[in-house]
Structure 1
Amino acid sequence: MSHLDRLRDVFRLALNLPADADVDGLEYRSIPQWDSLAHMALIAAMEDQFSIMIDTDEMIDMSSFEEATRLLEKHGVGTATV
């Protein structure tokens, strides 16, 4: 499973979305499920899944699935292609 597929699964689980939900275009607060509390759960789930530490600035800047892929690339996880 690619890192992007793993990231999609993290988004679906953290945001309580269906297993087949398209998350590639998601942006923070674009759906009711992605509120500030879910954002914290999403960050924690990403840290666990990819064994990375996300700092406060990165947490604030991660406002979309696309930004999350860039964040993973910054932390050396795979290649960010959506």
Structure 2
Amino acid sequence: MADTKLETVIRDTFKLNSEQPLDDIAPGSIPQWDSLGHVALIHAVENAFGVHFTVDEIAQIESLDTLKEVLKRHVSA
């Protein structure tokens, strides 16, 4: 999985510039990552990587790190 591709999806979904650090990004850490933003991000990631997350997996995503972990399970499979 390419972190750069995921970062591009996040930046595009939340309309963040390239200077915005993503290290500590999580739901609620930026105004765009609210409940609707969460759905938009999941949809964008699923489309970009050709995967489908379960409801349980979506609920687990609480940070960039957990998003990477969940995505890695699908991309590595």
Q: CA deviation at 1:20?
A: 3.2
The 5 Å alignment of 1:2-81 reads: 3-77=2-76
Amino acid at match of 1:37: L
Q: CA deviation at 1:76?
A: 2.5
Amino acid at match of 2:45: M
Structure 1 distance, partners of 2:30, 2:12, is: 14
68-77 vs 34-43, which deviates more?
68-77
Structure 2 distance, partners of 1:5, 1:24, is: 13
Q: CA deviation at 1:16?
A: 1.6
- Unmatched tracts of structure 2, length 5 or more: none
Structure 1 distance, partners of 2:75, 2:34, is: 27
Could you say what secondary structure the match of 1:33 adopts? coil
Structure 1 distance, partners of 2:68, 2:6, is: 8
Provide Cα deviations, 1:5-32, integer angstroms capped at 9, x if missing partner: 0000111111121133211221111111
Query: Which has the larger helix fraction?
Result: 2
Structure 1 residue runs of 4 or more that deviate by more than 2 Å after TM superposition: none
TM-score by length of 1: 0.84
TM-score by length of 2: 0.89
